[in-house]
């Protein structure tokens, strides 16, 4: 049986074109970017070229990009780095209720260190209201961190409006753009973004590399201290093969973005239209303002985990929510934040499409899903 992968929000397969450009950096061009000899200088050249390509994708300057090991690390650095560098100005940070756990847990940790955290609610579609951001900002606020697009329900947040408010109020604005980077256009200048997180393995690049965009002039403290790489903000020997791959992945995404967004949104809409014909099914997230590759459903009297297991037996890989929360038994904090009761939140299915998703694969999901939902429902103890 040929397996069907529909969990691109968890991670993506690496594009063959990306692997190809990475290979020389494992073998002949293996130098350390800090070395003065030609091996080092070749590695340094590749590093700076990659920085330029990634900066171009979001209209940033190359010196505003620093490489890290993961989006989790970038988000930790954004929150903790801004908090500790700006303590004298204030101790208040604003996030939303639907952020990824690496933002929520970093904020919780900062609260233990004496920082004050405001967690903004979202509406039934998962949207943050920019007016709520405005009202929550106090003279002590130093940072607002709102994700660009939800990894679970795909809702795209009004970050340009939020960015404008933050800039007017003189507060730094960070956005976690892990799910949107390379999929929809981002312009850090136009959107008034001060810090932005993106990750390679969500866009057909290798795992183990991510970036943090930090606008020139933003005050930030490192959390790793050592040899002073990445402008002193992320000491560690630089992972050149992964960074070269990340840049190639970004180059491909930039070239193919508009065509791919159109192709995927057509497939997504076909899927949504068909699935909503199933009795007792609902769409989670915004009906229009969502990522081109995300569909998230809820089925009454159906347990999400059972659905995933049965789909897996049919060779189809989907998810109940984020990959991190799918092993927890607690309902997703994102689904409860949009107002779902825990039992409703447990009946969710995230289908995330990507570069290698074909119409045939979507048709196969559409074919098997109604029967699976019916079967699980027929044995549900909650069904009247």
Structure-token pair, residue 16: 């063959």
- Report the SS3 class of residue 268: helix
| Segment interacting with ligand PLP (CB under 6 A) among 116-124, 176-184, 247-255, 356-364 | 176-184
# of chain residues touching ligand PLP (CB under 6 A): 14
Using rule CB under 6 A, residue 79 touches ligand PLP: no
Answer for which of 68, 72, 91, 239 binds ligand PLP (CB under 6 A) is: 72
Specify whether the CB–CB gap between 293 and 271 falls below 8 A: no
Using rule CB under 6 A, residue 290 touches ligand PLP: no
Residues with Cβ within 8 Å of residue 94, at least 6 apart in sequence: 117, 118, 120, 133, 136, 137, 141, 143, 144, 145, 146
Nearer to ligand PLP, 223 or 368 (CB): 223
Half-sphere exposure (Cβ direction) of 58: Cα atoms closer than 13 Å: 34
Using rule CB under 6 A, residue 70 touches ligand PLP: yes
CB of 296 to ligand PLP, least distance (A): 13
Q: How far apart are CA 194 and CA 11, in angstroms?
A: 26
Structure-token pair, residue 257: 């973005």
Using rule CB under 6 A, residue 291 touches ligand PLP: no
Answer for which of 60, 127, 147, 369 binds ligand PLP (CB under 6 A) is: 147
Using rule CB under 6 A, residue 176 touches ligand PLP: yes
Specify whether the CB–CB gap between 90 and 81 falls below 8 A: no
Q: How far apart are CA 36 and CA 42, in angstroms?
A: 10
Using rule CB under 6 A, residue 239 touches ligand PLP: no
H or E element: which one contains 211? strand 210-214
Nearer to ligand PLP, 73 or 344 (CB): 73
- Whether 166 is catalytic is no
Nearer to ligand PLP, 145 or 192 (CB): 145
| Segment interacting with ligand PLP (CB under 6 A) among 46-54, 70-78, 231-239, 355-363 | 70-78
CB of 199 to ligand PLP, least distance (A): 5
Cα-based distances in Å from 233 to 73, 77, 88: 12, 9, 20
Q: How far apart are CA 323 and CA 335, in angstroms?
A: 15
> Phi/psi class of residue 120: alpha, beta or left (left: φ > 0; alpha: ψ in -120 to 50)?
beta
Answer for which of 322, 325, 332, 352 binds ligand PLP (CB under 6 A) is: 322
The candidate with the shortest Cα–Cα distance to 177, out of 153, 222, 146, 134, is 146
Using rule CB under 6 A, residue 71 touches ligand PLP: yes
CB of 322 to ligand PLP, least distance (A): 5
Q: How far apart are CA 276 and CA 201, in angstroms?
A: 31
How many Cβ atoms are within 10 Å of 131's Cβ, its own excluded? 10
The alpha carbon of residue 282 and the mean position of all alpha carbons in its chain are separated, in whole angstroms, by 23
Nearer to ligand PLP, 64 or 176 (CB): 176
CB of 323 to ligand PLP, least distance (A): 6
- Report the SS3 class of residue 120: strand
Answer for which of 12, 86, 141, 179 binds ligand PLP (CB under 6 A) is: 179
Q: Which of residues 87-146 bind ligand PLP (CB under 6 A)?
A: 100, 102
Nearer to ligand PLP, 92 or 100 (CB): 100
Kindly list the residues in this chain that would bind ligand PLP in the complex (CB under 6 A): 70-72, 75, 100, 102, 147, 151, 176, 178-179, 199, 322-323
Catalytic site positions: 324
């Amino acid at each position: 049986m040929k397996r069907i992968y529909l969990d691109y929000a968890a991670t993506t397969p690496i594009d063959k074109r990306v692997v190809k450009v990475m290979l020389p950096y494992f073998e002949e061009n293996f130098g350390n970017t800090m070395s003065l000899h030609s091996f080092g200088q070749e590695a340094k050249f590749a590093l700076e070229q990659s920085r330029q390509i990634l900066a171009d994708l979001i209209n940033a300057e190359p010196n505003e990009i620093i490489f890290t090991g993961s989006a989790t690390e970038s988000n930790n650095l954004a929150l903790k780095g801004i908090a500790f560098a700006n303590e004298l100005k204030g101790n208040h940070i604003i996030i939303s209720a639907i952020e990824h756990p690496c933002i929520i847990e970093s904020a919780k940790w900062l609260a233990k260190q004496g920082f004050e955290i405001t967690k903004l609610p979202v509406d039934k579609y998962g949207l943050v209201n920019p007016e709520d951001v405005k009202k929550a900002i106090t003279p002590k606020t130093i940072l607002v961190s709102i994700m660009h697009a939800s990894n679970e329900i795909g809702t795209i947040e009004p970050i340009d409006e939020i960015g404008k408010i933050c800039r007017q109020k003189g507060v730094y604005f960070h956005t976690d753009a892990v799910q949107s980077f390379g999929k929809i256009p981002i312009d850090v200048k136009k959107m008034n973004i001060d810090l932005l997180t993106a990750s390679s393995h969500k866009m057909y690049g290798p795992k183990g590399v991510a970036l943090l965009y930090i606008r020139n002039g933003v005050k930030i403290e490192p959390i790793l201290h050592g040899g002073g790489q990445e402008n002193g903000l992320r000491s560690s020997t630089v992972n050149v093969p992964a960074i070269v791959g990340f840049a190639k992945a970004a180059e491909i995404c930039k070239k193919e973005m508009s065509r791919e967004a159109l192709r995927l949104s057509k497939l997504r809409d076909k899927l949504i239209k068909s699935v909503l014909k199933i009795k007792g099914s609902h769409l989670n997230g915004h009906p229009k303002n969502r990522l081109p590759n995300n569909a998230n459903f809820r089925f009454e009297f159906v347990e999400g985990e059972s659905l995933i297991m049965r789909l897996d037996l049919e060779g189809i890989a989907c998810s109940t929510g984020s990959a991190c929360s799918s092993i927890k038994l607690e309902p997703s904090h994102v689904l409860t934040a949009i107002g779902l009761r825990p039992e409703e939140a447990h009946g969710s299915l995230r289908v995330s499409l990507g570069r290698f998703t074909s119409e045939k694969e979507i048709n196969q999901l559409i074919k098997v899903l109604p029967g699976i939902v019916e079967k699980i429902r027929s044995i549900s103890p909650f069904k009247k």
